Amino acid sequence: MLKVLKFGGSSLADANQFKKVAEIVKAEENRRYVVASAPGKRFSSDIKVTDMLLQCFRLSSEKKSIDEMFDKIVQRYNQIISDLELDMSLDDEFEKIKFAILNHVGSDYVASRGEYLNSKILAEYLGFPFIDAADGVFFFEDGKFDSEKTNKVLGDILSLHEYAVIPGFYGSMPNGTIKTFSRGGSDITGSVVARAVNAAIYENWTDVSGMLMADPKIVENPKPIDEITYTELRELSYMGASVFHEDAIYPARKAGIPINIRNTNRPEDKGTMIVSKSSSVNDTVITGVAGRKGFTAIFVEKDMMNSEVGFGRKVLEVIENHGICFEHLPSGIDTMSVVVSSKDIREIKGNITAELVKAVDPDSITLFENLALIAVVGRGMIRTEGTAMRVFTALANAHVNIRMIDQGSSELNIIIGIDEENYEKALKAIYSEFVKA
Ligand code: ASP
């Protein structure tokens, strides 16, 4: 039952949080590999160490003094060290990092030092060896993550250590320089470590007790999600509902390792379990509902479209030639709509319409702008009749006009397009249809 744990920035923001982390790690002997983020915010107006480091990097490139900002970073770490009463000093490291910033060493290197330093402290505090991610996490020349080399080398290194603390967020390029994942990337490191050591579970410790069935900014007190499949999670996070870096799903998923989102401040909560296949069906039928504004549907109509070979390809080619990817493709017999992100086509609407006329000579082209999409996601939908009807009835009762419907072939979700102004109302209506107060 080997476990890999990742603690996010707010879980390691100060000494008090470090104490909670140590308690969690020490509570189970099989919690053996710990991935750490850089110190995050202690209060809402606080600044994350990663942002302070990047700020130092910018100041230095503008030839401005970094002293004040850098001292703040040093103080944050020294405060943690002294509050934890640790007998250690990071002064040599601080000096090295400052020198690197002043000499314009890459921004990735600078950004990565937040997790590097924090992991040194956590390793000392837990009494675990520190394993540098630069030695076991690798990127290709083109900057893409080298999953197989990482899996092999990291697995070999960690097999030599029963326990370890590994900094999240970064690894190294073929020439040895440091490269980071995108922001929030320590989640990915955690997943990668879990795969490399073949963990039974990947615990991702953060400051919320898992995922919620709907956005709490819109729906009052939404229910937590106890269990969600990787596929459902992907659908919901596409719509912006995530407490977890999207790319972090893949390594764990590949190895079939469940991910448990937990709350460092409420370790008694079970959190959300992300699994490949769920054994249980939700009593709510749906697992969650999420959505996003900012879409445009390009609606193309042509009589006998269905018998015109290559029609769809020609339409999509016009979109592709502008380097835009389409998000959805709901189609009828003589109609085809291509849903794209509004910001992608804002400047080129006229060109696209003209090019479509030339490419497929349609009867009409209409652009539906200001479209919001809502995804109603649930593995239980396959087994439950009438889910779509309930969604549509709920929207009709709330006087929300449906502009588009797209049910994925997986029968895992129903995607509905509505006017942006109805977004909040629609989300509330769907949620309360399935989750009775
Ligand atoms: N510290 C990095 C960030 O702020 C990575 C992470 O926390 O996952 O994005």
Cβ burial, residue 323 (10 Å; 0-12/13-18/19+)? exposed
Token pair in block for residue 378: 């649930």
Could you tell me if 373 and 416 are in contact, meaning their C-beta atoms sit under 8 angstroms apart? yes
Signed CA dihedral, 221, 223, 229, 232: sign only: negative
For ligand 1, atom 8, the nearest C-alpha belongs to: 184
Q: What pLDDT does 57 receive?
A: 97
Return the ligand 1 atom nearest residue 48 CA: 4
Q: At what angle do helices 15-26 and 107-126 cross, to 10 degrees?
A: 60
Ligand 1 centroid to Cα of residue 171, in Å, is 13
- Which SS3 state, helix, strand or coil, does residue 130 take? strand
Long-range contacts formed by 312-320: CB under 8 A, 24+ apart: 312/336, 314/359, 314/360, 315/356, 315/359, 315/360, 317/359, 318/352, 318/355, 318/356, 318/359, 319/352
The residue whose C-alpha atom lies closest to atom 6 belonging to ligand 1 is 184
Q: Contact, 324 vs 340, CB < 8 A? A: yes
The DSSP call for residue 207 is: S
Q: Which atom of ligand 1 is nearest to 185's Cα?
A: 8
User: In terms of Cα–Cα distance, which of 58, 148, 142 is closest to 102?
Assistant: 58
Tokens of 67: 């002293």
| 3 alpha carbon – ligand 1 mean position (Å) | 21
Q: Which tokens is 141 given?
A: 């020349």
50, 76, 115: which to mutate for ligand 1, most atoms within 8 A of CB? 50
From residue 361, how far is each of 242, 301, 305 by CA, in Å? 41, 10, 11
What is the C-alpha to C-alpha distance for residues 111 and 235, in angstroms, rounded to an integer? Answer: 30
Q: 418 with 399: CB under 8 angstroms?
A: no
Q: Is the Cβ–Cβ distance between 118 and 6 less than 8 Å?
A: no
The pocket around ligand 1, CB under 6 angstroms, is made up of 8-9, 37-38, 48, 50, 114-115, 168-169, 183-187
Measured in angstroms, how far is the CA atom of residue 265 from the centroid of ligand 1?
19
Q: CB of 48 within 8 A of CB of 12?
A: no
- Residues 181, 247 contacting (CB under 8 angstroms): yes
Answer yes or no: are the C-beta atoms of 33 and 197 closer than 8 Å: yes
For position 303, what pLDDT does the model report? Answer: 92
Q: Which of 37, 107, 110, 170 to mutate to test the pocket of ligand 1 (most atoms within 8 A of CB)?
A: 37
Q: In the beta sheet, which residues pair with residue 3?
A: 31, 201
Per-residue confidence in pLDDT tens, the chain, 437 aa: 999 999 999 999 999 999 999 999 999 999 999 999 999 999 999 999 999 999 999 999 999 999 999 999 999 999 999 999 999 999 999 999 999 999 989 999 999 999 999 999 999 999 999 999 999 999 999 999 999 999 999 999 999 999 999 999 999 999 999 999 999 999 999 999 999 999 999 999 999 999 999 999 999 999 999 999 998 988 888 887 777 888 899 999 999 999 999 999 999 999 999 998 887 766 678 999 999 999 999 999 999 988 889 999 999 999 999 999 998 888 888 899 999 999 999 999 999 999 999 999 999 999 999 999 999 999 888 777 888 899 999 999 999 999 988 877 667 889 999 999 999 999 999 999 999 76
Ligand 1: centre distance to CA 40 (Å): 8
d(CA 261, CA 207) in angstroms, rounded, equals 10
Measured distance CA(384)–CA(364) in Å, rounded: 38
Q: Tell me, what's the pLDDT at 437?
A: 65
Residue 115 Cα: closest atom of ligand 1: 1
Q: Which atom of ligand 1 is nearest to the CA of 183?
A: 9
Judge residue 374's burial from the number of C-beta atoms within 10 Å of its C-beta, 0-12 exposed, 13-18 middle, 19 or more buried: buried
CA-nearest residue for atom 5, ligand 1, is 184
Distance 90 CA to ligand 1 centre (A): 21
C-alpha 169 to ligand 1 mean position (Å):
6
In angstroms, what is the span from residue 245 Cα to ligand 1's centroid?
Answer: 10
Q: How much is the pLDDT for 180? A: 98
